[in-house]
Amino acid sequence: MQITWLGHSGFRIEIEGATLLIDPWLTGNPLFPADRRAEALAGATHVLLTHGHGDHAADAAAICKELGIPLVGIYDLVSYLEGRDGIASIGFNKGGTVDLAGARVTMVNACHSSTLSGAAGPVAAGSEAGYMIAGEGHTIYVSGDTDIMADMQWMGELHAPSIGILCAGGHFTMDMKRAAWAARRYFNFKTVIPCHYRTFGALEQDATDMVVELPGVQVIEPQVLDPIRF
C-alpha cells in the first residue's frame, strides 16, 4: 500500500486493487507541479471527494471524464456532477460502505461546509464528509476538512484506524495543535500525515507543533509526489 500527496488535501492512495484520487485539485494548486499531472493520474480507478469546495473538487469531474472512471462521494454532490458533466458516479452517504476494487470505504462525519461556486454565489453541495479506508491490513482515516468533533470518539473506537490523514492548516480547519489534540484524545494512530497546509500564507507552513504534541507517533510531513509506503 502507498499514499502519495498531491499537494493541499489531494492524495493518491494505492490499496488492494484500487488507486484512489482523493480531492485531486491539481489545476492552479500552488504546490502541484503541472508537468507531472500524467504521473499523478496514471492508473487511477476512482476519484473520491470529501466535499464540494473548489480546492478539493474543481478538477474531479474533468479527471473522471478524461480517465473514464467514476466519481465517488456523498450522493447529492456526485449525482449533481454526474448530471452536469456526463460522468459515472457512485453516490452514498454517512454510515455507508462501498467496495472499490477490494478497498472498503466508509463515509463518516466531518464538521465544515460544502458548496459549489454558482453565478449568484455559493450553492449547497450536499454535506462535508470524511472516510475510513480499509484494506491490506490497514485502516486509514481521511478527515476531510473538519474541526474537532465528539464523533471522533466513536469513529476511533469502531474503526481503529492506524493511519490518520488529518487537515491541520488552521483558518479553515483544525490547526496543527487542534489536530494533534484530537489524534491524542480519540485515536491510537501509528502514523499521522498532515494536509491542507503550506498551500497559502494563511495556512500553517510546517508540522512542528504536531510533532511536539504527538510523541511516540510517526508524523510524516509529506512531499508532493513522493510515495509513502506501508
| CB neighbour class for 226 (10 Å; exposed up to 12, middle 13-18, buried from 19) | exposed
Tell me which residue has cell 476511533.
156
The pLDDT, as a whole number, for residue 123 is 85
Which stretch of DSSP H or E encloses residue 204? none
Poorest-confidence range of 45-54, 59-68, 116-125, 193-202?
116-125
State percent of the chain over pLDDT 90.
96
Poorest-confidence range of 1-5, 52-56, 120-124?
120-124
State percent of the chain over pLDDT 70.
100
Please, which pLDDT band fits residue 54 given cuts at 50, 70 and 90?
very high
Q: Give pLDDT tens digits for 178-218.
A: 999 999 999 999 999 999 999 999 999 999 999 999 999 99
The pLDDT, as a whole number, for residue 101 is 98
| CB neighbour class for 172 (10 Å; exposed up to 12, middle 13-18, buried from 19) | middle
CA 127 to each of CA 85, 94, 196: distance values in angstroms, whole numbers, following the listed order: 20, 9, 19
The pLDDT, as a whole number, for residue 121 is 86
Please, which pLDDT band fits residue 223 given cuts at 50, 70 and 90?
very high
Global pTM exceeds 0.85: yes
Strands 103-109 and 97-100: antiparallel
Residue 28 scores a pLDDT above 90: yes
The one-letter amino acid code at 72 reads V
Mean of pLDDT values over 83-110: 98
Euclidean distance between CA atoms 54 and 91, whole angstroms: 19
Residue 117 scores a pLDDT above 90: no
Residue 129 scores a pLDDT above 90: yes
Residue 86 scores a pLDDT above 90: yes
Poorest-confidence range of 5-9, 52-56, 115-119?
115-119
Residue 118 scores a pLDDT above 90: no
The pLDDT, as a whole number, for residue 119 is 86
Euclidean distance between CA atoms 227 and 13, whole angstroms: 9
Query: What mean pLDDT value characterizes the chain?
Result: 97
Strands 138-142 and 129-135: antiparallel
